[in-house]
Each structure stands twice: as C-alpha cells, then as structure tokens.
Structure 1
C-alpha cells in the first residue's frame, strides 16, 4: 500500500513542473516550506498542516499576490523534517504562476505519503532546506526558508548555528510556530515557543514570524504568512499571532 502511494506521489510530482517552465527561469522568490513531522504531531494535526498549505496555495488572494510580482511567479519546494536523521524533499522545485499551477501543486501534496518520526531537529531542517535552495533550478530575486513546527530543537546542533549559516548566504528564515496545548510529558517547556522562534530560528533580511495559536488556526496563519513572503511586505512587528481576516 505504501509503495503504491509513493509511486502515485512520484507521478504527481513529475506533473508539477508546469508546461513550458525552464531551468533558470526568473521568479520573485524561491521558497522552501520546511514542515515538522516529528512524533509530537499526530495524524489529525498532520492533516491540518497539509490542508493548511494546500488551501493557502490555491487561495485566489495568494495567486493574485504571486501574479502581482515583477516576475509573476514563485518557485516552491516542500520539505518535511523530524530528527537530525530525517529530512526529505516531498515535492520538488515547482514554478507557480497561475491558479491552475497552484491547484496542480496542491493535488501533488494531497497525494504524497507522510512519515511521522521522533525528535525535533530544526537545525537539520534548516540545513537540508539550505541545500535544497542551492539546487533550485530557477533564478530567484529572494531566497526564503519557511519553518513551521510545534516544538523546540531537541536533536542535532543548536538551531542558531544552522540559522546563522543560512543567513550568511543571504537566505531569510521565517517562522510559523504552532502554540498548541499538547502535554510536555512531565517536562517544563524551556521557553515559550514563539519567543524561541523569534530568538533562535528566524533571521535574515526582513525575517518575521506569525504564530498559530493551535493547529485549527494553522491554515489562516499559513495563508497570511505566504502572502507576506511572496509579496515581500515589510515585517513590522516581527512577532505576530493569527488574526482572522
């Protein structure tokens, strides 16, 4: 069953490259969506995450923001990460510049299989995303890693080290912490997650974050965040929470 799902996802991924798109084609931003799939995220929450990204990408307001850029297109790669040993490219680099292309991308994400593993290595996710950006076949005016998750780094090197390496290469890292009320298994959280993301995860030119109060709010937060990232809007203030609009 898993192999059939994997083959189906591979077929969908092969169809993601829009007809006529070319390597080195210019885009306004190359964006890696780096999504936490560690054990703290259960199946319902994983579904809400993917639905949030799928619904945001096909939202006409987001497509309008994409088409309104100087190049009229963005390049998107979808990455999932957990512990230091696990990162994978779920959907390859795809140029999106129309409603139809956004819908094809969303269908590919819906059909891709998902794994759930232990530990949370934000540093590993950032490092993998940095390498993914280095392999982007499109010419981008901006390069952004969008990190979303519901926990602090507890596997691998500190997140700050990976962030600083990416920022030194001109990459912006934005954050979408999910402030849910999951149990901490008897351990006190070391720091509120939104403060941790602000101090240890985000960085680079125009970096910002939007915190979702919980997984139910995630879809709204994703839409607002992607519009800001793609449109290159100023990030003031740095710390924001979900506000429905």
Structure 2
C-alpha cells in the first residue's frame, strides 16, 4: 500500500512538472530545396543539420535551462505552394530528443519541388508554424537560401506581417560555388546575398546572417548559427529591449 502510494505520488509529481514546464524558445528552421539545390546539395544540407544537432556545444546550449526546453521544428521550402514539414514541433529536453530528431532527418526522402524561390511564402509558412506555440518566451525563424526570392510575396513586406510581429528572423546563406570555386568570387556572391538578406529578410532582436562557402560547409555554418541563437536566449533574455523597438522597418 505504501509502495503504491509512493508510485502514485511520483507519477503525479512528474505530470505536474511537465504541465508547469516553460518553453523558452520556439525555433523553426526553413531549408531551401528550390531548383538551384540538387540532390547532393539537399543531402549535404539535411545531413549538415543533423550533425550540427549532434555537436556537443550545441547540445549543451539546447539543454542549458532545465524545465525550460527549446521547441524545434524543421521544414523545407521552394518556389511552389507546398512547403513541407520534416520535423514537427519537438520539445528538446534531453540528448535522446536530439538523437530522435537526427534520426528523423536521416530518414527523409527528397521530393520534387518547383524551380523557383518563393522566400516570402517560406517565411509565412514558418510564421504559421510558430503560431502553434503560443506559450514560448521567444520565437525564432531561420531561412536558409542560396539565392534571392524570385516569385511569390515579397519577403521585405512579409517580414512585417502581423503573424511575424514577435518573431526574430535569421538567415543562413550558401554560395552556389563548388569546393574549387575562386574564394574571391564566393566572397562577392555571399556579400551580395548578405546585403539582400539584411534589406529584405532578417529582422528582430539580435537578428543576423550566417554564411556557408558551399553546401559542404553547411554543417559548420549551421553549428555556429544554432549556438548564437540558443546562447542569446539563455544569456540575454532578461536584458531584451521593449518589443515595440524590435520590429520597426528600417
């Protein structure tokens, strides 16, 4: 009888702890799978994300606040009207949760998408995903891309949609050059794309653009980007400025 009561008490305590749990950040990652991304580059992108989630420093950042996990979702986008969710919202409470996300990423199969780059549509899709997590402290949307938007709603307008008002949008840009490309040409391409992202895509508190020299460099760039995002929330939440100053168009 005493043992049964103890088990019941432990179960109730565990349930209450989960119910009281706080989501410190909702993080949605949008991967570019438009016509400029071939099968090998798609695989490098998905595998690069999986490996970034396995980096010890990234795992430590995800798990830095016990009782206040990060919720993670991953989707892919292109130029058609069918962005696809790869990983639904997952609360990251342990390394096992991160391992489950990595395993799910590695079982994904590439599907055909339109040839264009509808970045504004991708941003709206990410905003709709984030709206499913109304209880989180902070909302972050990541857009990976290797080119400018060339169809659909204009991202420079979409980023100030009401649905994205409280969302920080960051970017991860990738050069289309190969491993053998001239470094100066790669730098010029990334400079151009970074200016575009600053002018049309990113916004919010601490928003930034991370750069990858090519898709083979995606793992390194994604690792750096995740660390910046997760550490900003862990360390800087109490020092954040008033929300009214975050989303003012420049």
TM-score normalised by structure 1 residue count: 0.78
3-state SS of paired residue (2:52): helix
Counterpart residue number, 1:127: 124
- Further displaced range: 173-182 or 50-59: 173-182
5+ residue gaps, structure 1, are 1-18, 183-188, 235-245
Cα deviations by residue, 1:181-237 (Å, 9 ceiling, x for unpaired): 27xxxxxx8x82121112111001111111111111111000010011111167xxx
| Shift, 1:107, TM fit | 0.2
Counterpart residue number, 1:57: 53
5+ residue gaps, structure 2, are 1-13, 179-188, 237-250
Aligned length: 209
Cα deviations by residue, 1:65-97 (Å, 9 ceiling, x for unpaired): 112136442101111110141212111000112
Counterpart residue number, 1:178: 174
Measured on the aligned residues, the alpha-carbon RMSD in Å equals 2.5
Whether 1:44 aligns to 2:40 is yes
Counterpart residue number, 2:226: 226
TM-score normalised by structure 2 residue count: 0.77
The 2-side partners of 1:174 and 1:215 are apart by 18
Aligned CA distance change for structure 1 residues 214 and 150 (closer, same or farther; 3 Å): same
Cα deviations by residue, 1:132-155 (Å, 9 ceiling, x for unpaired): 11112x731110001001110011
Determine if contact 1:179/1:194 at 8 Å carries over to the other structure.
Answer: no
When Rg is computed on C-alpha atoms for both structures, the one with the higher figure is 2
Determine if contact 1:69/1:231 at 8 Å carries over to the other structure.
Answer: no
Matches within 5 A, 1:57-206: 57-69=53-65, 71-117=67-113, 118-136=115-133, 139-165=135-161, 169-181=165-177, 192-206=192-206
The 2-side partners of 1:24 and 1:193 are apart by 43
The 2-side partners of 1:197 and 1:167 are apart by 19
